[in-house]
Structure formats: structure tokens, C-alpha cells
Amino acid sequence: MQKIIDRFISYVTIDTESDPNSETTPSTAKQWDLANKLVDELKAMGMQDVTIDENAYIMATLPSNVDHQVPTIGFVSHFDTTPDFTGKDVNPQIIENYDGKDIVLNAEQNIILSPNYFEDLLLYKGQTLITTDGTTLLGADDKAGITEIMTAMEHLINHPEIKHGKIRVGFTPDEEIGRGAHKFDVAKFGADWAYTMDGSQIGELEYENFNAAGAKVTFKGKSVHPGYAKGKMINSMLLASQFIAKLPENEVPERTTDYEGFFHVHHLNGSIEESSVELIIRDHDKEKFEARKKSIYTIADEFNKQYQQQFGEAICEVVIKDQYYNMKEKVTPVFHIVEIAEKAMKELGIEPLIKPIRGGTDGSQLSYKGLPCPNIFAGGHNFHGKYEYVPLESMIKATEVIVKIAELTAKK
């Protein structure tokens, strides 16, 4: 238990925040700090074929210890943290034997992690929680996953009596900005299938995710002295707000669940002359996903028609880029890989929670690149913010699931 705590803390205290505005890979130089550390640890524990490429993608091999043919499986996690909330100067707090009550993360700022708001906390009464100090995120997304993979590989190396086939390990940069699998060399990885250790609550097992796109809608305005503005000024900020008002008010993240899709406005910037709305578009159903994208263009066309009649020019421009697709299409034909993970959990006394991912995962893009890749829990909760925490026992169980999957795959 202490080894997992120490390993996890050694990872989360390294700042690896990614940057969506950077064009390099990794998007931030500081991601190399953890990447190089992981390479050194993999070599030190005895992993073979340890490599890191010019883009910081790490791969390593645990050779098979059985004399019969076994599929090569992989385990993948990402080492960057989200740019949505700071991951600098992370100061983890250890809460032993959690009593089910409020946890004071930061007394000075009155930041409280409360089960009255975060009900999942009560699932872990009596367990050891690792939390933030209320000023940063924790980084369990996805340094918990890395901790579990590293610990599982070390355990298998130290216990050769546990039989397994060839196992490949992969760690990626920039997952949090949607690029984690962009430069992942699936052929080099050489696995028949893999699992991302990047889920949340203990028991999560996911092979469905959103179809996803990002949209930027730009409005052009005209700045005129307000005293002489009638019939001449176009305030692009007001146009942007009108655009947002035309989106379905209940189809937003905070009002949807399960398979329900949404529009999520995450950035709004503006002046009279130019304003932009950035949003993400999500839906599990491909037809509904396409309809959502089409609706953005439709709203923009309405603006343009209105203002072309009034001012003789278009004032709205839309750029939509697909980000990833629902991996269900690629995983269902090889569904036994989900069943193996489900069986592993059941044999360890874990109740599998098979449900759709309301987000993205490297596994989606990897599946479409030819590496079917369901997602397994890593244990953390409340990712991307100061209320993030992870139960130690969940990380231990995730480590055991990796080992058990290796065992089950190696059976004749």
C-alpha cells in the first residue's frame, strides 16, 4: 500500500499540464520530466524493449513466461494533466480511515470536500483517500492509471509463478487536449488488443464513448460611436450571446446523463468588432451526432441571411472539426476482450459497472487505428478540479485487475 502511495505521489507532484494552443508534441516541455522518469523506472524494474520517441511516447515489454501461443495484450495511460485547472505544486493530502464526514481541503480558503455534494465519497468510508489541498487538481487522471500499470508490471516481474503472455505498456502525452493517440504507433506497439486504465469509479468497464467534435463560431461586428450607432453598429458580443441562446437549453453537460448528448460552450471571447464561441459537440449516436453538427451550421446560416439582407454581408463563420468516434463499432466485433476484463473483476470480487463513457479516451482513437481498446477504472473521482480524490484501495484493485487480465489471457 505504501509503495503505491509513494509512487503515485512521485508522479502527481510533477507538473505535466498540456497546452491546446501549442503545436508541438508533447505540447509542453514539462511533460518530458515525468516521461523520462517513467523510462528510468521501467528499465530499473526489468521491463524489456523500453523506448521513448521524439514525441515522448513510451513503450515497453514484459515478455511471455508461458510456452504456448498467447495473444499480446497492452495497457495504456496518459501522463499529461488537463489545462482546465492548474496541476502545478500539487500537494496531496492522505486521509486514513475516512469517517464519511466533510474533509477540509483548505481551511484558509474554506474549501470543503463534502459527501453532501459529492455522494460517491460515502462509497469509501473506512478507506484511505488521497485528496488535493484545495488549490490544484490532483492528477489521478491519469497518473493513477500509470501507477497501477507500473505496479502491476513490477508485481508480475517479481512473481514469475504468475503465468502471462507478452504484455506491452504504453504511456502517452497530450490526451487531455485530444491528441493522446495522434502519434501513437500501433504497429510498433504490436498488441492484439489493449486496455486504457483511465476510468473513474471502481468497477467501471467501458467500451462505448461519445462521438465528438469541436466547433468555433466567429461573429464579425462593426464598431461605431454609440451616439451615432443606430442602423450602423453590429455588436458581435450580442450576436454571440444570441447564438448561445439558440442552442437547446437542456442539452448541456449539467442536465444530461447516460446516452444523452450535449452542446458545451467552454470559451467565449469578444469585443464589438469580433467575438467567438467555442464549444464541444457530443453524442453516442452517430446520426444524432451528425444532426447536432448540422444544427450549428443552420443557426449560423440564419444569422447570415438576416444580416446579409440588412448589411449586405455575412457576419458568422463556423469551423467544426471531428475529434473522435464511438469505439463501440470497433470493440463489439472482438467483444471477448471486454468479457475477459469483466471476468477478471468478478474473480476479484469487484462488481463490473459497464456503462458508456461520457467523454473521450485514448482508447477510442486507438480502436479506430486498429488497436481495440476498452477502458477500465483507475479509481479517481472529480477529475479536472480541486475536489479530485482517489481511494488507495481502488488503485490497489485496479492493479489486481491488470494482473488478473494477464493471467486469464494466458490460460489455454
CA atoms of 377 and 398, how far apart (whole Å)? 7
Catalytic residue among 19, 142, 148, 175: 175
- Phi, psi (rounded to 5 degrees) for 109: -100, 5
Catalytic residue among 15, 19, 41, 80: 80
54 CB-near residues (< 8 Å, 6+ apart): none
Among residues 272, 314, 285, which one has the least CA distance to residue 297? Answer: 314
User: Do 145 and 2 touch, CB atoms closer than 8 A?
Assistant: no
108 catalytic? Reply is no
175 catalytic? Reply is yes
CA atoms of 65 and 79, how far apart (whole Å)? 29
Annotated catalytic residues are 80, 175
